Amino acid sequence: MISSSQDQSEEVEAPSFLPTSLSEMRERGWDAADVIFVSGDAYVDHPSFAAAILGRWLEAHGFRVAILTQPDWRSADAWRELGAPRLFYAVSAGNMDSMINHYTANKKRRNADAYSPGGEIGLRPDRAAAVYAQRCREAFKGVPVITGGVESSLRRVAHYDYWSDKVWPSNLVTSKADLLAYGMGEKTILAVAQRLAAGESVRDLRDLPGVAYLLGASEDLADTPVSTPGREDVHLPDFDEVVASPRAFAVATRLVHRETNPLNAGRVIQAHGRRLLVINPPSEALSESEMDRLHELPYARNPHPSYADAIPAWETIQDSVQIMRGCFGGCSFCSITLHQGRRIQSRSHDSVIREIKTLSRRPGFKGYVSDAGGPTANMYRMRCTQPKVEAVCRRLSCVHPKVCKLLDTDHSDLRRLMKESRSLPGVKKVHVASGIRMDLAADEPEYLSELAEHHVGGHLKVAPEHVSPKVLRMMKKPDPEQFDRFAEGFREASEAAGKEQYLVPYFIASHPGSGTDEMIELALYLKQNGYRPRQVQDFIPAPMDVATCMYHTGLDPETLEPVHSARSQNDRNTQRALLQYWKPENHALVKRALEKAGRTDLIGTAPECLIPVRAPRGQTLPPGKGKKGEGGYRGPARRRGRS
């Protein structure tokens, strides 16, 4: 440990916030920070925000940490003002990829940024990680620069960028960072800090799991350290190949996704011109005790007091509690598995209960925990029952095409936690607002009963995403019968609890594999079940996702078979319109789509028709649906005696 850092064995009362300015550092008697986080988000000292959780983690191990939050990137002045860190810069675009943060699925500039004070847009640059890293170099040459976070993690290899419609090189090329830390990063960043503090160079850190780096043009791969000896390297088609050949890009995607299990992944190698990109295997998942310690660090649980305006993202999660991370669903369009891993990392009951007790004592707490969950709330403590099999498994999903027979899907631990949490003094209700894996929950009637009676406030958000078996296969989502089964179980559980409650299902338009016929199929399903979604999601091709590969290449990376994607704006608009076929403003698009598909039988006044011959006038809300119903879905029509 460096001499300027406090010994981790000392009992020192934690300050309210990590310093964000030179004056705040000097108030602590610091002449410099050991590590400076550069973040595209406002600084909220809460474990849902990456700079806070990683910063507190380093602080707990004796390091001096400062945060340079949303600096003006047009010059290096803000970097120079804070001074150089003794060890390294930790650079992140923030909790989101900056391009997704800035632009809609239609590539239009968003009008708000939930991670900025007052929702102000434009406080971070496009492709922020690379821009911030370059400013670090400009301000203080020779200081190691480590990039991380979602943006760097999902751009660690050559990837398709939807907003420029081209294949980009690894973020290491554009940022010129020394190392890229991918995944959640706690183990990696601590190892980086400890080893640099012990006098090692940044090049010595190339043996760490969970990092990627670029070899110099004259460096030999055979001379580089290996984090997991005995495993074979996996060589991807090089950058020029994946730019020129959709097939090569698809092959590279398949290979990358096979090397995501920390227990068996090899190094991934990809040439970028004369330089080699080396991606070490992922870091191992955190243990339960590590998760407990991480989430019980002394967070202020508030935005930094320098902000005059509220930060929308914090207002959403301020009364929430994370009980787990990771997801083994492996949905094609989702980045969670690539970033957080497939292995579920859960906190202990005692740790969760202690946090809820702390939350209940906060000024302004009204008794409602807004969410107790994670990426998929009902995966809490689920795991493979055969460690030897898990050590060699390369499945992209533990639940698709069917639930693995070795997966422990018991919800009893979760039900005990739910019961204990809602029984605490000062707690009126603990909501479960995170995603629910419906195919797992449908087989657990006791869990559904607990959920419906105690943890839903009238509406439960779920994500069937589509009803076409063809599209669902592309998505790696359960078949539509699973959604119907869950919906029926939830309806029965709600009625047994004496409550009128609704599901709020989310559907995606324009996902690869979805054409006009599939969207008509979905529209008919919605009509038959009396559901009219007010919000729909357009597919956004995020970097590195399997579905993004399908969109860009027109190929399924697993089979290399052709996949149709809606690429033109007109096609995307049409699919979105079919999801909301009843709206007068969508009438022309829907009518044209039905005529083109040869489905004029769905135009007219018959009960089975989607639209009338002429556009309707007047209100667009579902008839008979007021504020109470919100257009919610109670269950499949055929199970309620309707055709």
Distance CA 331, CA 304 (A): 36
Q: How confident is the model at residue 534 (pLDDT cuts 50, 70, 90)?
A: confident
In a domain, 133, yes or no: yes
**With contact defined as beta carbons under 8 Å apart, do 551 and 512 qualify?**
yes
Measured CA to CA, the distance from residue 132 to residue 477 in angstroms comes to 37
Q: Is residue 280 part of a domain?
A: no
**Where does 158-272 show beta strands of DSSP type E?**
159-161, 166-168, 179-181, 211-214, 234-235, 268-272
Residue 639, pLDDT > 70, answer: no
Q: Per-residue DSSP letters for 514-556? A: --HHHHHHHHHHHHHTT---S--EE----TT-HHHHHHHHSB-
**5 within some domain:** no
76: CATH: 3.40.50.280
Digit-coded pLDDT (tens) for 133-180: 999 999 999 999 999 999 999 999 999 999 999 999 999 999 999 999
Ramachandran sector of residue 589 (left: φ over 0; alpha: ψ -120 to 50; beta: rest): alpha
CA–CA–CA angle 639, 641, 643 (5° rounding): 95
- In this predicted structure, the answer to whether residue 321 has a pLDDT above a threshold of 60 is yes
Q: Does residue 60 lie in a domain region?
A: yes
How many C-beta atoms lie closer than 10 Å to residue 577's C-beta? 23
Categorize the per-residue pLDDT at 530 as very low, low, confident or very high, splitting at 50, 70 and 90. Answer: confident
Left, alpha or beta for 210 (phi > 0: left; psi -120 to 50: alpha)? left
| Lowest mean pLDDT across 231-235, 300-304, 399-403, 530-534 | 530-534
pLDDT above 90 covers a percentage of the chain that reads: 88
Same domain, 81 and 195: yes
Residue 504, phi then psi, degrees to nearest 5: -115, 90
| Region of residue 624 (phi > 0: left; psi between -120 and 50: alpha; otherwise: beta) | left
Write phi, then psi, for 68 (nearest 5 degrees).
-100, 100
In this prediction, residue 633 has a pLDDT band, given cuts at 50, 70 and 90, of low
Q: Do 348 and 475 fall into the same domain?
A: no
Tens digits of per-residue pLDDT, 490-505? 999 999 999 999 999 9
Q: Note whether 512 and 547 are within 8 A (CB).
A: yes
Indicate whether 72 and 197 sit together in one domain: yes
Same domain, yes or no: 524 and 579: yes
Question: Could you tell me which of 498, 461, 463, 477 has the C-alpha nearest to residue 371?
Answer: 461
Relative to beta strand 65-69, strand 159-161 is unpaired
Residue 433 in this model has a pLDDT that exceeds 50: yes
pLDDT at 26: 96
Residues 466/522, Cβ–Cβ less than 8 Å: yes
Instruction: For strands 166-168 and 159-161, give the pairing.
Output: antiparallel
Is the pLDDT confidence value at 306 over 60?
Answer: yes
> Radius of gyration of the chain from Cα atoms?
25
Nearest to 80 by CA among 148, 139, 133, 167: 139
Name the nearest CA neighbour of 397 among 509, 280, 261.
261
Tokens 């809609």 label which residue? 104
The answer, yes or no, to whether residue 635 has pLDDT greater than 70, is no
> The domain that contains 491 carries what CATH number?
3.30.750.200
- In which residue are the tokens 């040439």 written? 271
Domain boundary among the residues 439, 455, 471 is at: 455
363 and 508 co-located in one domain: no
Q: Largest Cα–Cα distance in the chain?
A: 81
CA dihedral 566, 571, 573, 574 (to 10 degrees): -120
Shared domain for 447 and 573, answered yes or no, is: no
**Identity of the amino acid at 495:** E
Distances (CA, A) of 255 to 184, 235, 394: 21, 9, 11
Q: Is the domain of 397 the same as that of 536? A: no
Inter-helix orientation angle 569-579/587-596, to 10°: 100
Give residue-wise pLDDT tens across range 578-603.
Answer: 999 999 999 999 999 999 999 999 99
530 φ/ψ angles, rounded to the nearest 5 degrees? 65, 30
pLDDT at 623: 37
Per-residue confidence (pLDDT) for residue 531, from 0 to 100: 87
Are the C-beta atoms of residues 329 and 376 closer than 8 Å to each other?
Answer: yes
Phi–psi pair at 603, nearest 5 degrees: -115, 120
- Neighbour tally for 13: CB within 10 Å: 5
Same domain, 470 and 428: no
Q: Report the C-alpha gap between 325 and 339 in whole angstroms.
A: 10
Domain count, the chain: 3
pLDDT in tens, 443-484: 999 999 999 999 998 999 899 999 999 999 999 999 999 999
Region 39-56: what's the mean pLDDT? 97
Q: Are residues 466 and 571 in the same domain?
A: yes
- pTM of the predicted structure, to 2 decimals: 0.92
Question: Residues 330, 436: one domain?
Answer: yes
Same domain, residue pair 391 and 472:
no
- Indicate the pairing of strand 324-325 with strand 345-346: antiparallel
Q: What is the pLDDT of residue 337?
A: 87
Residue 349: CATH number of its domain: 3.30.750.210
Rounded (5°) CA angle 79-84-86: 150
Q: How far apart are CA 65 and CA 52, in angstroms?
A: 10
Range of the domain at 91: 22-212
Cβ within 8 Å of residue 265, ≥6 positions away:
228, 231, 259, 281, 282
Whether the predicted pLDDT of 7 surpasses 70:
no
Three-class DSSP category at 277: strand
- Which residue, of 455, 474, 505, is where some domain finishes? 455
The predicted-structure confidence for 62-95, as pLDDT tens digits, reads as follows 999 999 999 999 999 999 999 999 999 999 999 9
Q: Are residues 532 and 403 in the same domain?
A: no
288 domain residue, yes or no? no
As separate numbers, helices (DSSP H) first and strands (DSSP E) second, the chain gives 24, 22
Find out whether 134 and 176 touch, Cβ atoms under 8 Å: yes
Within a domain: 571: yes
Among 212, 244, 279, the domain-final residue is 212
Query: What is the arrangement of strands in the sheet containing 65-69, beginning at the earlier edge strand?
Result: 65-69, 35-39, 88-92, 145-148, 179-181, 211-214, 275-279, 268-272, 234-235
Exposed e or buried b for every residue in 17-47, given b needs 16+ CB within 10 A?
Answer: bbbbbeebbeeeebebbbbbbbbbbbbbbbb
Residue 62 domain-assigned (yes or no): yes
Q: Is residue 413 part of a domain?
A: yes
Q: Which of 342, 343, 359, 340 is nearest to 351 (CA)?
A: 359
Q: What are phi and psi of 507, to 5 degrees?
A: -130, 150
